Structure 1
Amino acid sequence: MAEEKNKTQAAADEPQHQEDVAEKEAAKQEDPKGTDTKQEAETDQQPEEEKPAEKQEASDAKVAALTDQLMRLQADFSNYKKRTSREKAEIASYTTEELLKKLLPIIDNLERALAASENDDGSEELATGIKMVYKEMMKTLQDEGLQEIEAEGKPFDPKYHHGVAIGNEDDVDDQIVLDVFQKGYMYKDKVIRAAMVRINQK
């Protein structure tokens, strides 16, 4: 009895099974590749999705390279400006220094003329004129950076003094400058002429 029931049920299910098989066969005929076609379609689309990313990376790399190049050019130009500015300052300083060296003998002669005129009673007006010229000239040179080196009564310093004679004064300490034969001068922080002096030696 049970077997007959199962056979009856199987016979009833058979048409439904045949319909399912028929539908699957029809679907295969419409799309023989099935799932593979979808996978291929996705594979074909994948490179298209990657292309914009590759373009963006290439663009970013180009921008980075140009930015680096620009920064290097800016640094080079800044260094060039600093170098040329320093060179100009050095040239100007050297020019002024050379000019001052040429003027030092003129100062020496003015001082000698001033000393001679002061010893001559009939040359008071001349002495006054020379003194005015001397003071004005010295002020102008001092404004440009010329400084007189202090020597008389100072301890001897070979950096600033040039010893040309020796004295022996009991009441003066050893290695003290006794007299100045020719004044020394500095241009800013540089000695352009050492003072010619006589040094006490015990």
Structure 2
Amino acid sequence: MSEKIDFYYDIVSPYSYLAAVQLAELEKKTGAEVTWRPIFLGGLFKEIGNKAPLSLESKKRYMFSEDLPRLARYYQVPYTFPEVFPTNTLKVQRALAALPATERPALSLQLFDLYWGQGQDLGQPEVALEALGTKIAGLADEEVAKTALKDFTAEAISRGAFGAPTLIWKDKIYFGSDRIHLLEADLLSS
């Protein structure tokens, strides 16, 4: 039986994007199975009293002009600073939460690419509709989607998450896109 990892993420998080693009390789190398669990990062921050890392201007400048472009080059993925940041990802996160777990990775990667790769504003209804498709976009307004996203967010908080991306294996937290190699090493040595 393969090891199980829960991946808590929000499309608005650039480091969630950089973690997401590493997960297929992690599964391939370790045989582990990653379950993608969308959360609403704004709701998580509000609930636990955390703040986005952008409150410090020098950190914000470094993050967007140096760190993220450098990491995108390293992982060989596109990076374009989004038209609007942060944007409201509530609709897309609800839609992802309403989908079966097996459908989340492919659509999430597409959404990450639109927002962080191409810089499109997923908070705009027409962009979200085009990205999600009418059927999936319609899910976002259903009560089941709202409840699912709230539940995933509450679950992440109850397990100790304080931001995104958070990966959890055997109740151990691996926070950030730069901790996946540590998770891989731990999986391979277990």
TM-score category of the 2 structures, normalised to the smaller one:
under 0.3
Structure that is richer in helix per residue? 1
Larger RCO (alpha carbons 8 Å, 6+ apart): 2
Task: Output the TM-score relative to the length of structure 2.
Answer: 0.21
Q: Give the number of the structure whose alpha-carbon radius of gyration is greater.
A: 1
TM-score, with structure 1 as normaliser: 0.20
